[in-house]
Structure 1
């Protein structure tokens, strides 16, 4: 087990994440701290970092070093991006950091920063081709990912702070200023010559997460998680218009907008809106991961290739960090998969729902870590709040409800979630829940006694023929307890032999 501190010195904020990495390459975050230092703001005419900003950065790094020492980290990795990268007094500042804290800072080149962004996305999103945008305080990284590999990437020397300063300094009314800067941004994007058109955009950074929060408040979205949150391009453009039309001194009153970003959000939405227009983007996804997670995955994977299956890795990582009967969990999943395949003509569910069932089956008992009693309800909460990668937020919610169904006939869908789950999704949850409950019943002794299930589908009934290593009366009875729900969801009576 290694405990590593990773410090990201950004142009707008500084962040420390402390991660424990096990010998089996699983990991867990044990602390995460962020401070808004604005190192890239108020740069001096000679290109030097401002002394007050530097002093704030030193004080923050001393705090982070003390925290890492208290937790007894084995090592501390410190990386810096555009503000230090372009500073005329970079060498002097790095020496000051070392003399004040003992920390050595690695200043990333623009493409190195972009690569870490890519690596975090490739290991946390189940997408094969998309455009990635990381807009920081003083730089913006763009990465074109295809077949989960980098096709092209670039780091551009502008970000939320610098664009906001240009918008505030430009002449004319706010709409003329915004149009002038937007045209310059579009020209910059055009000159790259390789940006893909019509692809989904994945956004990295606090500005994207803040845009997501604003949209959640506007739409009364009930889930708190930010990773893989979806917005249409129209949602983003509506928020950009809201920010543009709101006087600077009133932007802090926009619901969902962090007060520390109220003075730079205009620069962020302007750059994002320009990219959406130029690339013809329709779909935008917000990442909860970024550069720091890219560094973590580099430490774990020791190479250039991302994990083979994002969902599998995410589930296995979660299982490795908790107390769970793995043999039972994986056997229940095998039984679920068998039922899903054999009952296709009855459930008529899309193949993609198998990933929801897999998540629910493998994690259905995770709630026991809180309490055995009502553990199916605890499983719901843990699955919903464990940031499972490779599923959409809707699919994570469906997996949580499916897992909660393994000990009850039917779990009531909370009214706050009915804006996310329509009738089709609720029907899917009920059908998957019945299959999970049967499968869990067939391994009730947790000894893999039932080795196979054959489904005989007849006109008015479905018969489950069990193959077992010994007598299976208990398992048969447990499975038959689902007969009422089975008939309701699948339209046939259930028998077990």
Structure 2
């Protein structure tokens, strides 16, 4: 069910973008339209920070076009927000008045602290780290925040972005001029050092925005990364240096043909990469990762949380919400998935009691998610449920879940047999030890057996006990109701439990 269709126009210093979100009853944010134009409004500011009429006309032309698109989509709410280029303009009141008169659009001018707040808000609600530094580098400003235990502690807006850095250090010079790059590095380093709370924080850095996304995309192509999407993608110091070295080694025409790099960022990507490298060093960060959720998503998330009394997005239940939403997107029956999780929990507890597994909270979390999403790919095609399930989950942005965890969940949710697991693992074998692979295969078998003993979807199995006997084990399934389907499927899938236990396995159905 469609709750709302929200249009957000992000009027940045470098680009202007319209994103239209459809919000369903699960608060899933579907992007139904995403268009941009590299207006580069910052170039229309003179030395006194006054925007020329030419720049204002460019802005009005773009907004008229975007408003007609939003009208076509019949958005319920249109949110036009302006950042550094308009904020820093000495004639901003005139710009806002002209836009209002000629387009009917009332621009919301975001103060520095609100721009930083919204980017941070998106990160807090979509990433797993409880503490970290966020950075959002735009065309004319760079917002940096520090959060601890999922609460914003500090923020600062630096009056430079990729466009201004280009103007300051590369005017009349090549995009990769070594002396210009060195001077820029020194300038950025001094800027970051002036903010004492940044120094040696030793927490993850989360980057958002188009420049960050381009760097992550390029790096993924360079290392032949198998997963889609940059949300949650991790890079380290040597990775950031690798992309910077690559960008410096290429001419503008070569950069325009570089796979993963947006053509309108070719002359701006070196300043962005330098800023990220410098911040990494200043913070002494353990990891640098990317979020595809930023200012725009933060604005919409806060709007929905305010309107629906904080029911839309949680900072502490991110992964579970994300799993629930992808399940709903593929029409998973919630009561069937919940019963499967319940049965998996019972089996896992009994196997832990018998010493087959050691209790592990992280593995339990993956087991829950994998069992909840089991065979969600059957919505695409029943005959290839396993294959579709693995592909969908492994290539979906799951908030609050790392890329390795995403693959692990995909392996569990798609489990059919061990040979398919090995097939899916091609390209990921260096992510797992042999022991971890064997454990994932065993847990996948538990999920498959649990699904079998809920074959009728009537929730007939009420409890499970495993008792050791002289020759093996008895698996006792306590039930209420008709178990015809469950009896048949349990016998067919018994091997997945039998493999974990020594000796003979007797399956006993006991009515209660």
d(CA) in 1 for partners of 2:501, 2:135: 45
Q: Does 1:216 align with 2:220?
A: yes
Cα distance change on mapping 1:495 and 1:60 into 2, 3 Å: farther
The structural deviation recorded for 1:457 is: 5.5
Counterpart secondary structure, 2:50: coil
CA-to-aligned-CA distance 1:1-47 (integer Å, 9 cap, x gap): 22211111111122222223345645433222232222223422331
Partner of 1:340: 348
Aligned counterparts of 2:56 and 2:387: Cα–Cα separation in 1: 49
| Partner in structure 2 of residue 464 of structure 1 | 475
Instruction: Report whether the alignment pairs 1:183 with 2:193.
Output: no
**Residue aligned with 2:41, SS:** coil
Task: Give the Cα–Cα distance (whole angstroms) in 2 for the partners of residues 41 and 135 of structure 1.
Answer: 17
* CA distance in 2 between partners of 1:50 and 1:493 (Å): 84
Q: Residues 11-160 of structure 1 correspond to what in structure 2 (within 5 A)?
A: 11-22=13-24, 25-160=27-162
Q: Which of the numbers 405, 409, 414 marks the counterpart of 2:415?
A: 405
Is the 2:446–2:496 contact (alpha carbons within 8 Å) kept by the matching residues of 1? no
Report the secondary structure of 2:382's partner residue. Answer: coil
Q: 2:247 maps to what in 1? A: 243
Q: Partners of 1:437 and 1:105 in 2: how far apart?
A: 54
CA contact (8 A) 1:406 1:440 kept: no
Q: Which runs of 5+ in 1 are unaligned?
A: none
Give the drift of 1:105: 0.8
1:54–1:93 contact (8 Å) kept in structure 2 = yes
**8 Å CA contact retained: 1:117, 1:294:** yes
The 5-angstrom pairing of residues 85-484 of structure 1 reads 85-169=87-171, 174-195=177-198, 197-248=201-252, 250-302=254-306, 306-344=314-352, 345-348=355-358, 350-405=360-415, 410-414=420-424, 416-418=426-428, 421-424=431-434, 425-456=436-467, 461-472=472-483, 474-484=485-495
Q: Give me the whole-angstrom Cα distance separating, in 2, the residues matched to 1:458 and 1:267.
A: 69
Q: Greater shift after overlay, 446-455 or 423-432? A: 423-432
Secondary structure of the structure 2 residue equivalent to 1:78: strand
Alpha-carbon distance in 2 for matches of 1:457, 1:420 = 37
Return the alpha-carbon distance in structure 1 between the equivalents of residues 368 and 256 of structure 2: 43
> Hey, what's the Cα distance between the residues in 2 that align with 1:461 and 1:60?
73
Runs of 4+, deviation exceeding 6 Å? 170-173
Contact 1:142 1:155 in 2 (8 A): yes
Change (3 A) 1:350 1:178: farther
Report the Cα offset of residue 485 of structure 1.
Answer: 4.1
Shift of 1:410: 4.5
Give the secondary-structure state (helix, strand or coil) at the position aligned to 1:281: coil
TM-score by length of 2: 0.89
**How much has 1:439 moved relative to structure 2?**
1.1
Cα separation, partners in 2 of 1:42 and 1:455, compared to 1, 3 Å: farther
User: CA–CA distance in 2 between the matches of 1:273 and 1:321?
Assistant: 38
After superposition, the Cα gap between the structure-2 partners of 1:394 and 1:112, relative to the gap in structure 1 and judged at 3 Å, is: same
Return the alpha-carbon distance in structure 2 between the equivalents of residues 184 and 135 of structure 1. 15
Question: Is the CA contact 2:169–2:180 (under 8 Å) kept in the aligned structure 1?
Answer: yes
Q: What is the Cα deviation at residue 142 of structure 1?
A: 0.8
3-state secondary structure, aligned to 2:128: coil
Contact 1:409–1:482 (CA under 8 A) maintained in structure 2: no
Q: 1:2 matched to which residue of 2?
A: 4
Structure 1 pair 131–311 and aligned structure 2 pair: CA distance change class (3 A): same
Counterpart Cα distance in 1 of 2:502 and 2:358? 12
Question: Which whole-Å deviations, capped at 9, do the CAs of 1:127-174 have from their partners, x for residues lacking one?
Answer: 101111111111111111111111111111111111122231499993
1-side partners of 2:471 and 2:225: how far apart? 42
How far does the alpha carbon of each residue in 1:213-239 deviate from its partner, in whole angstroms, 9 at most, with x for none? 111111111122111111112101221
- Conservation of the 8 A alpha-carbon contact between 1:133 and 1:203: yes
SS across alignment from 1:17? strand
The 10-residue stretch of structure 1 (78-87 or 428-437) with the greater mean CA deviation from structure 2 = 428-437
- Decide whether the 8 Å contact of 2:227 with 2:395 is kept in 1: no
Q: How far off is 1:299 after superposition?
A: 1.8
- Paired residues, what number? 497
| Bigger mean CA offset, 309-318 vs 41-50 | 41-50
RMSD: 2.7
